[in-house]
């Protein structure tokens, strides 16, 4: 019991943000409920981003009703590779990345094949709300597959590596890149076995990397070093993320971005309840940074000053 309390105290000193505190003090306090649909429905997020002139993966089509599934195969035949995802999915569930075709089958990013029938069933499940928040009826989005920047090619195993930046009151707080591994089955979720590598906000270089709660410096599948890699377009990534604060209005959220080989940074989705694993990937707690931002938020009026603040004061905080 005493050692547990001591651990709790040490974590508190290290500024580790836990789920209760995140919900109470940040998401509930800074994210008005009415704004949630803007980020929970990826179609609406996409719309807002497009209107603002930000890049997102190109929308091929939307499956809204069961009846449309019969036309799905014909519709998909136009595209060699694409991504199908639930409009209101959570935690990366229900996303299928198709990289090509083998005969009448779709080849998924993991290399496994999927029949047209299975695809139809998957879309049907998506529509019935299997992957959506609260099990509501959902839509399935078909969009272009991002061909990710070669910088991550050697340190990701299948799947698409993505960059997560936490934004609080418009200020970038912490960032990481999530690298899929063989164990994560091409998915970029840390608890499914993806690698999380912290990114220095000031420079955009990867720092420590964590895999299954172990600190590593090489990718377990490709064996290439993970640390000290410069993420390209870093300043642009920060700029896009901070602009989302103005566009959506949420106070505390996470931005998921990908780097397309040709088109540069693209917004995948926003998350109004961003996970806490980013702290493990960075080996830093969020709490001190959040409190520091709270203290100075009033004087940070424009995105440029907020990014400067993040680079100068937040990035170096322990």
**Sites of contact with another protein (CB under 8 A):** 4, 7-8, 10-12, 14, 16, 18-21, 24-25, 29, 66, 93, 117-118, 120-121, 124-125, 128-130, 191-192, 208, 210, 213-215, 276, 279-280, 283-285
Task: Find the angle CA(153)-CA(156)-CA(158) to the nearest 5 degrees.
Answer: 95
Q: Return the number of the residue (48 or 197) whose C-beta is nearest another protein.
A: 197
CA quadruple 313, 305, 199, 271: dihedral, nearest 10: 120
C-beta closer to another protein: residue 90 or 305: 90
Q: How far is the CB of 11 from another protein (least distance, A)?
A: 6
As to burial, measured by CB atoms within 10 angstroms (0-12 exposed, 13-18 middle, 19+ buried), residue 205 is middle
Cβ atoms of 14 and 285 within 8 Å: the answer is: yes
CA distance 187 to 167: 23
Closer of 164 and 187 to another protein (Cβ):
187
1 or 74: CB nearest another protein: 1
Q: Angle at Cα 264 formed by Cα 237 and Cα 36, nearest 5°? A: 50
Strands 59-63 and 140-143: antiparallel
Distance separating alpha carbons of residues 86 and 62, to the nearest angstrom: 10
Query: How do strand 264-271 and strand 252-260 relate by DSSP bridges?
Result: antiparallel
Closest separation in Å from C-beta 306 to another protein: 23
Q: How far is the CB of 28 from another protein (least distance, A)?
A: 8
Report in angstroms how near the CB of residue 188 gets to another protein at its nearest.
14
Closest approach of Cβ 137 to another protein, in Å? 10
Least distance between another protein and beta carbon 85 (Å): 14
Q: Are 318 and 288 in contact (CB under 8 A)?
A: yes
Q: Is 222 exposed, middle or buried (0-12, 13-18, 19+ CB in 10 A)?
A: middle
For another protein, the closer of residues 72 and 237 by Cβ is 72
137 CB-near residues (< 8 Å, 6+ apart): 127, 128, 129
Q: How far is the CB of 25 from another protein (least distance, A)?
A: 6
Tokens read off for 20:
């209760």
CB nearer another protein, residue 191 or residue 261: 191
Q: State which residue, 50 or 216, has the beta carbon closest to another protein.
A: 216
Instruction: Please measure the distance between the N-terminal and C-terminal CA atoms of the chain and give it in whole angstroms.
Output: 28
Q: Which two tokens stand for residue 98?
A: 């198709």
- Is the Cβ of residue 59 or residue 276 nearer to another protein in the bound state? 276
* Cβ at position 221, least distance to another protein in Å: 18
């Amino acid at each position: 019991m005493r050692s547990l309390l001591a651990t709790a105290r040490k974590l508190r000193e290290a500024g580790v943000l836990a789920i209760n505190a995140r919900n109470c003090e940040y998401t509930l306090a800074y994210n008005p409920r009415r704004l949630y649909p803007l980020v929970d429905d990826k179609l609406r997020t996409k719309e807002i981003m497009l209107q603002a002139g930000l890049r997102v993966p190109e929308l091929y089509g939307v499956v809204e009703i069961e009846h449309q599934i019969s036309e799905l195969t014909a519709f998909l035949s136009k595209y060699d590779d694409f991504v199908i995802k639930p409009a209101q999915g959570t935690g990366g569930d229900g996303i299928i990345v198709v990289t090509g075709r083998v005969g009448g089958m779709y080849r998924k990013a993991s290399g496994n094949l999927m029949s047209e029938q299975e695809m139809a069933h998957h879309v049907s499940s998506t529509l019935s709300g299997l992957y959506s928040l609260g099990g509501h009826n959902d839509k399935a989005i078909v969009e272009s597959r991002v061909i990710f920047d070669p910088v991550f090619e050697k340190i990701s195993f299948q799947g698409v590596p993505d960059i997560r930046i936490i934004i609080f009151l418009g200020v970038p707080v912490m960032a990481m890149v999530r690298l899929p591994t063989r164990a994560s089955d091409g998915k970029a979720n840390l608890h499914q076995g993806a690698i999380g590598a912290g990114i220095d906000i000031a420079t955009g270089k990867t720092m420590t990397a964590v895999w299954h709660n172990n600190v590593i410096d090489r990718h377990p599948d490709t064996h290439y070093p993970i640390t000290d890699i410069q993420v390209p377009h870093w300043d642009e990534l920060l700029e896009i993320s901070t602009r989302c604060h103005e566009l959506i209005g949420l106070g505390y959220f996470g931005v998921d971005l990908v780097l397309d080989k040709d088109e540069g940074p693209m917004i995948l989705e926003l998350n109004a309840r961003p996970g806490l694993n980013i702290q493990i990937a960075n080996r830093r707690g969020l709490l001190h940074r959040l409190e520091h931002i709270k203290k100075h938020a009033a004087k940070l009026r424009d995105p440029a000053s907020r990014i400067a603040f993040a680079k100068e004061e937040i990035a170096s905080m322990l």
